[in-house]
A and B are shown apart, each in its own frame.
Chain A
Amino acid sequence: MLFRKFSLAVYALLILIPLLVVVLTSVKTLQETFANPLGIPEGGLHFDNYVNIFQEQTMAGYFMNSSVVTLFSVSFTLLFAAMIAFGITRLNNWIGNVLFLLFAFGMMVPAQVSMVPLYSLMLDLNLTNSLFGLILVNVATTLPIAVFILTGFMKTLPKELFEASTMDGAGNWRVFTKIVIPLSLPSLSATAIFLFVMHWNDLLYPLLFITDNAYKTLPLALLEFQGQYATNYPMLFTGVIIASAPMVVAYIFLQRFFVAGITAGAVKG
């Protein structure tokens, strides 16, 4: 019993100490960090890093870019994936199965496989240094997992519902928007959170397609800080906190949904 409690406490500390260090370091000066990396800042709390980071960097701009990319990527992936999942469920024949397999194939292929040709395609289409381009790639590459999760859910909906409403003269679009979408809300929200975390934190595609500061998203901007400030951890961690804040706040309030969403993605992926 004691051993159990001890283990639980050790694991909790393993999570908490690094996070506390991040928060504490962000309110220290660089000198204090070098003198005493573990300790509490002696000269009181400095919020200079927060002020500086917004003055020196176009932090507000990065934040905006991340928000725009995430919001549009999640919305369009969800909409298109729900439509495809509905189509597959409704068809329920070999065409549907082939399409399902084609999308399932996409879950298996690591992003690095297509990145070289994708990069030259983006250059040809003039879609580098563009948030729109980033959104298009995001939607295309996360569709497979979203289709997979949503198809799994929609297959469990009773077919009689579709058939009855079709008999009443409702077209496919009407069945989709009035019946399937409302009934799929639990699965849609879990998928939305999974996509939200994924897009907000994504590094690879911004790294490949964005070089102009005006279009950088938070993870890419953070990576550039690292190069710029080398070991200025107070500044780096201030960036980390600002970049993570929306996720952390959302997690505190919507914890159950986060867990359901991310584990659904993991289990089905």
Chain B
Amino acid sequence: MKISKSIYLFFIPGFLLYSVFFLYPTVSALFYSFTDWDGFSPAFQFVGLDNYERAFTGDSIFRKTIGNNLKFMLVVVVFQTLVALAFALIVLKNTKTTVFLRALYFFPTILSSVSVAFIWSFIYDPSLGILNQLLELVGLGFLTQNWLGNADLAIYSLAMTQVWFHAGQMLIIFVAGLQAIPQDLYEVAKIEGASKWQTFSKVTWPLLAPSATIVVAYTTIQSFKAFDLVFAMTRGGPNNSTEIIATYIYEVAFRGFQFGYASAISVIFMAIIAIITYVQFKALRSDRISY
């Protein structure tokens, strides 16, 4: 069947906007990464790979940000996935209570990251904060901390905020995956006399693998790209202990006015994301299960 040529017109408005405000700036970032442009002066020079060399060998803060990104990502992925999976298994069946609880757990997802940042800044506040107050209240006063002010702890405090923010969303994905598992498999397992653990490890877990991969993949990328929470809660402090790549690009570009160098970091950032995505795409492909 021949399609009228007018179909190409359908691409025009979106493609124009996408090219001007996304493709062009993205490609430019690669271009500027080889320059010493400050973002404002009309003149700049090509410096070859200097910016990249500086990122990998001369800039200790950048190396620190990569470590911070990894710490943040690891903690969020592990906690968020475990919390989401554990609770998805409990609120799996559709009763009035579980439907309500699922809605409640999902709730933080709809808030803005700035709002979540304020809420948790207050919770973590060393003198006013309800976290320290609650610890005192239950007799665990010795655990009280300056949660965001302690350079060893701050990145983990931020990670926990991220988990509070998004675990409910992942929980729902697990619930959907679990509900798609055919019930007769459980009946067979029951008839065969399988224990709870056997049922989980032999039936639920293998069939849940696709959802689990999606949750882990999405959480990894989402936490690696995190910006708002860190920006609003700590601005990378104290002492760069919570500086992550995304906030560092912002700092270098808009506080340090080193657009060329910021572009080089953003290209490296994109390369890391591309690698993570590629690895996960591979994993997703090999994990397809049919039943």
List A residues at the B interface (Cβ < 8 Å).
Answer: 4, 7-8, 11-12, 14-19, 21-22, 25, 33-34, 37-38, 80-81, 83-84, 86-87, 90-91, 99, 102-103, 106, 108-121, 136-137, 139-141, 143-144, 147, 163, 166, 171-173, 176, 197, 200-201, 203-204, 207-208, 218-219, 222-223, 226, 231, 233, 236-237, 240, 243-244, 247-248, 251, 255, 258-259, 262-263, 266-267, 269
- B87–A83 CB distance below 8 A: no
A243, B134: Cα distance in complex, Å:
28
Q: Known pairs A247-B111, A263-B169. 18 more at Cβ < 8 A?
A: A11-B87, A17-B130, A21-B119, A83-B14, A84-B11, A110-B225, A112-B266, A114-B29, A116-B259, A118-B25, A137-B21, A143-B22, A171-B6, A197-B110, A204-B228, A219-B112, A240-B118, A244-B115
Q: Which of B21, B108, B109, B122 contacts A136 (CB 8 A)?
A: B21
Scan B273-286; emit 1 where CB is below 8 A from any A CB, else 0.
Answer: 11001000000000
Known: A84-B10, A121-B25. A203 touches B128 (CB 8 A): no
Q: Mark B97-116, 1 if CB is under 8 A from A, else 0.
A: 00001111111111111110
Assess the A83–B218 pair: CB atoms within 8 A: no
Q: Contacts A110-B246, A110-B269, A226-B118 given; indicate if A262 touches B110 (C-beta within 8 A).
A: yes
Q: Quick check: is B8 within 8 A (CB to CB) of the other chain?
A: yes
Expressed in whole angstroms, the minimum distance between the Cβ of A101 and any Cβ of chain B is 13
Question: Please, how many angstroms separate the alpha-carbon atoms of A7 and B28 in the complex?
Answer: 50
A15 surroundings in chain B (CB, below 8 A):
104-105, 107-108, 164, 168
Task: Tell me the complex Cα distance, A208–B203, Å.
Answer: 49
Q: Which residues of A contact B28 (CB under 8 A)?
A: 114, 117, 121
B90 close to A (CB within 8 Å): yes
Partner among B13, B110, B218 whose Cβ is within 8 Å of the Cβ of A80 = B13
Our pick among A113, A147, A166, A243 for the contact of B26 (Cβ within 8 Å) is A113
Seen from chain B, the residues whose Cβ lies within 8 Å of a Cβ on chain A are 1, 3-4, 6-11, 13-15, 17-18, 20-26, 28-29, 32, 39, 83, 86-87, 90-91, 101-115, 118-120, 122-123, 125, 128-130, 133-134, 164, 168-170, 172-173, 176, 214, 218, 221, 225, 227-228, 231-232, 245-246, 249-250, 253-254, 259, 262-263, 266-267, 269-270, 273-274, 277
